[in-house]
């Protein structure tokens, strides 16, 4: 697994040979369960509660805690029901008007949640608990719900399979750790929070030792719960870290990503600490990214990216991804705060270019041979992983179908290259690009694009209506 490891750098070690061909094995991951194993653990009392969950539009896990006996008797075969408004509410759970999918006129009925037992795992950070991810269907005729984030990703995986490929991915999540608990942070109105460290700690081992109480706990619990970890390390901010999961098929990667974020927050809460995946929590510090790695594999399990620029598939996938980068931006930067991460010399990209092992470019090519992959540095840690991977696949598939060539490879400092196209300046601009994208309307469907346009415009509207601390400090006396 040594191929593709970049040498030391000022930012972050990358996933080790993230897309190297995996060794053949029949050993199940630690923590993963069959239905038979779940039944035995419920009967023995080792598992009492099953969390049946699904991702909402933000990527948060929503669902129910179900007693073991009831899950075996009813949910395992029949699924469960939840209110359809869960695919329309905002972060505050406000009921938002204007969605054709669910509204007051329709009475906010039920949708059907069907467990995907390939995701069934025992989660060790919660007492006697298992978790299963569900797919969403209409309640009457049990059709997949197109706007559901997991459905979007599964549909793009099917489109890719029709071209003869599968996709493997890895998402690298950065985060800030705080000595404040979530409760004390709220009492402080999220001002004057104390990070767990006080100096930039990229690769620092001593500072990492001081933070091992939580990072080691997360590594351990994830590894024991079917979410294998590669490593954790200090990042380019006080109290900022990165913990990388092992790469896998993109649907499984998105599931692991969502469960990992949920689990990390729960572990932090249990220790009286807080972790934040906010894209830009403080204006004078680096933001937190979700560097998204992708590679394609053919039916014989050979990497379609192994040849680099000599591979038509590699070039055309990259060309499509880059060509549509501005249109898919809301799926990478989903709220107004997200765009504050794109700052000059901040390690977040401000321009759309591709380059080899160059952290100033929006698309970074790393690895060699079977480990060759494309890393997009555009997504933030606040991105919904299902939407981020679905958007990347849709853009890349379009590139393959239309033989879209990428622009010339870039070398140098992309921050200084004024001739390069820029990332959208804000969510409003990015949503305009999404709304006008014929590619996404064809790939996702008209109703899906319109649904998410309304979702992102609602986020922007809520932000525009808020009066902030910055405004009071600036205008209260002197304005």
Q: Which among 254, 292, 278, 268 has a CA at the least distance from the CA of 382? A: 278
Q: CA 49 to CA 67: how far, in whole Å?
A: 5
Residue 122's DSSP bridge partners are 130
The 10s digit of each residue's pLDDT in 126-145 is: 999 999 999 999 988 899 99
The confidence score (pLDDT) of residue 192 equals: 93
Q: Are 52 and 134 in contact (CB under 8 A)?
A: yes
Instruction: Count Cβ atoms below 10 Å from residue 213 Cβ, excluding itself.
Output: 12
- Say what the pTM is: 0.92
The confidence score (pLDDT) of residue 27 equals: 59
Q: What are phi and psi of 341, to 5 degrees?
A: -70, -30
Q: For residue 63, what pLDDT band results from cuts at 50, 70 and 90?
A: very high
Q: At what angle do helices 250-270 and 149-162 cross, to 10 degrees?
A: 150
Instruction: Check whether 307 has a pLDDT greater than 80.
Output: yes
Q: For strands 49-55 and 129-138, give the pairing.
A: parallel
| CATH fold for the domain made of 156-474 | Creatine Kinase; Chain A, domain 2 (3.30.590)
Q: Which among 384, 281, 388 has a CA at the least distance from the CA of 337? A: 281
Domain 35-145 classification at class level: alpha beta
The CA-based angle 300-302-308, given to 5 degrees, is: 150
Over residues 272-290, mean pLDDT: 94
The confidence score (pLDDT) of residue 23 equals: 36
DSSP character string of 113-128? EEEEEEEEEEETTSTT
**Least trusted range by pLDDT, from 2-16, 212-226, 413-427:** 2-16
Instruction: Check whether 15 has a pLDDT greater than 50.
Output: no
Share of the chain above pLDDT 90, in %: 79
Domain ranges across the chain:
35-145, 156-474
Q: What is the dihedral of CA 349, 351, 354, 359, to 10 degrees?
A: -30
Q: CA 324 to CA 55: how far, in whole Å?
A: 25
**Least trusted range by pLDDT, from 122-131, 336-345, 428-437:** 336-345
């Amino acid at each position: 697994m040594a191929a593709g490891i970049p040498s030391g750098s000022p930012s972050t070690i990358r996933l080790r040979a993230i897309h190297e061909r995996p060794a053949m094995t029949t050993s199940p991951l630690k923590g993963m369960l069959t239905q038979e194993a779940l039944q035995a653990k419920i009967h023995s009392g080792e598992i009492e509660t099953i969390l049946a969950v699904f991702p909402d539009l933000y990527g948060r896990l929503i669902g129910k805690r179900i007693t073991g006996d009831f899950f075996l008797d009813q949910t395992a075969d029949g699924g469960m029901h939840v209110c359809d408004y869960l695919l329309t509410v905002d972060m505050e759970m406000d009921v938002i008007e204007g969605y054709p999918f669910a509204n007051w006129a329709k009475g906010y009925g039920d949708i059907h949640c069907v467990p995907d037992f390939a995701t069934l795992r025992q989660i060790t950070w919660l007492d006697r608990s298992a978790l299963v991810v569900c797919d969403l269907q209409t309640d009457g005729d049990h059709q997949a719900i197109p706007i559901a984030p997991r459905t979007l990703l599964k549909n793009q995986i099917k489109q890719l399979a029709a071209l003869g490929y599968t996709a493997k991915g890895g998402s690298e999540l950065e985060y800030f750790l705080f000595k404040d608990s979530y409760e004390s942070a709220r009492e402080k109105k999220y001002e004057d929070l104390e990070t767990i460290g006080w100096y930039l700690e990229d690769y620092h081992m001593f500072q990492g030792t001081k933070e091992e109480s939580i990072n080691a706990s997360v590594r351990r619990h994830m590894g024991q719960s079917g979410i294998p970890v590669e490593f954790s390390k200090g990042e380019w901010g006080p109290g900022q870290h990165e913990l990388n999961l092992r790469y896998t098929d993109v649907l499984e990667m998105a599931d692991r990503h969502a469960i990992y974020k949920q689990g990390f927050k729960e572990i932090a809460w249990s220790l009286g600490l807080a972790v934040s995946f906010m894209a830009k929590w403080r204006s004078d510090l680096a933001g937190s990214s979700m560097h998204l790695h992708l590679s394609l594999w053919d039916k014989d399990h050979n990497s379609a990216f192994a040849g680099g620029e000599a591979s038509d598939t590699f070039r055309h996938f990259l060309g499509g991804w880059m060509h549509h980068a501005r249109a898919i931006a809301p799926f990478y930067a989903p709220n107004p705060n997200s765009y504050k991460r794109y700052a000059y010399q901040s390690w977040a990209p401000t321009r759309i270019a591709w380059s080899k092992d160059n952290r100033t470019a929006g698309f970074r090519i790393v690895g060699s041979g079977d480990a060759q992959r494309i890393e997009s540095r555009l997504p933030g840690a606040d991105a919904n992983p299902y939407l981020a991977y679905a958007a990347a696949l849709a853009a890349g598939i379009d590139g393959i179908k239309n033989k879209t060539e990428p622009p010339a490879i870039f070398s140098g400092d992309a921050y200084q290259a004024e001739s390069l196209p820029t990332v959208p300046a804000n969510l409003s601009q990015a949503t305009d690009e999404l709304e006008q994208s014929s590619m996404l309307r064809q790939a996702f469907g008209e109703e899906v694009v319109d649904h998410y346009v309304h979702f992102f415009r609602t986020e922007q509207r809520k932000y525009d209506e808020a009066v902030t601390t910055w405004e009071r400090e600036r205008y209260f006396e002197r304005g």
